[in-house]
Amino acid sequence: MDFTPACPAIYKFVRMRITSRKSLATASLWAHRKHKERRQSEIAASKAPEGEELKMTSASLNPAPKPFDQRKRMVVVRVAALMAVLLLLFAEPFLAEGSQAHELVEMFGLVLVLVCVGGRLWSTLYIGGRKNSELISMGPFSMTQNPLYFFSTLGALGIGLIYGSVLAALALGLASFIVFRVTAGKEAEFLSGKFGDAYEAYRRKTPRFWPNPLLFQDNAERQFSTHALKRTFYDGLFFLALFPAIETIEYLRMNGFLPKLFVLF
């Protein structure tokens, strides 16, 4: 009997059986390895300290905190300052320009602006170039968590007083306080996520905004960034430049070059 026609079919059938057995063996080996890895993970989790597994899961689900974008704050502050200047162009202070009371209020405002510039420079000596990378708790940062924002708020109050209006000073100071308060809250979230218990201990003992001089601490030596100090100095020039700008506005108003649309107390 001639078996030649059947040989290819038998050969194909045998080859398929062999391939099928190899596939089953490979699948079985893969399943065994996955089971072994899963078992090892369960053993490691059972040996971990209490709460460690939950901490690892939380860390994997929560993204790493990101520092607050300071450009947003600067845009808001500059837009608010521009709007205030445009408003003051057409407003007359309640205290007569050139009077002794007006000059006293104006000088007090200038003192606040100078304190603002000096305080910001002092704070930059400690945090310049290290913000968001180190937890700073000495110098002005030992009295308040946000000395830069505190001194900037004093500067905003001073600008309103230089203009000769208590209402303008309160409005600028309150607007600055709200902006910096929101910013400080965002930064606190980032610092808490980055420094953990160390920041929480610092936050509990240090006021967020209003400084407490009784808490002052300092180091004998301090390194600082000259680049950051220079940048802060240039920012301070913005506050100082408003003094001659407001004096120019007063001169133009007194000589009839600017209209007096309303009075600010």
Residue 117 has pLDDT above 80, yes or no: yes
Determine the Cα–Cα distance for residues 48 and 209; give it in Å rounded to an integer. 41
DSSP the chain: ---GGGHHHHHHHHHHHHHHHHHHHHHHHHHHHHHHHHHHHHHHHHHSPTTHHHHHHHHHHSPPP----HHHHHHHHHHHHHHHHHHHTTEEESSPTTSHHHHHHHHHHHHHHHHHHHHHHHHHHHHTTTTTTS---SBGGGT-S-HHHHHHHHHHHHHHHHHT-HHHHHHHHHHHHHHHHHHHHHHHHHHHHHHTHHHHHHHHHS-SSS--GGG-B--S-----HHHHHHHHHHHHHHHHHHHHHHHHHHHHHTTSS---EEE-
Alpha helices (H) along 48-134: 52-61, 70-88, 100-127
> pLDDT averaged over the chain?
76
Whether the Cβ atoms of residue 124 and residue 229 lie closer than 8 Å to each other: yes
pLDDT value, residue 32: 60
Span of 2-6, 232-236, 249-253 with lowest mean pLDDT: 2-6
For 15-43, what is each residue's pLDDT tens digit? 555 555 545 555 555 566 666 666 666 65
pTM score, whole prediction: 0.69
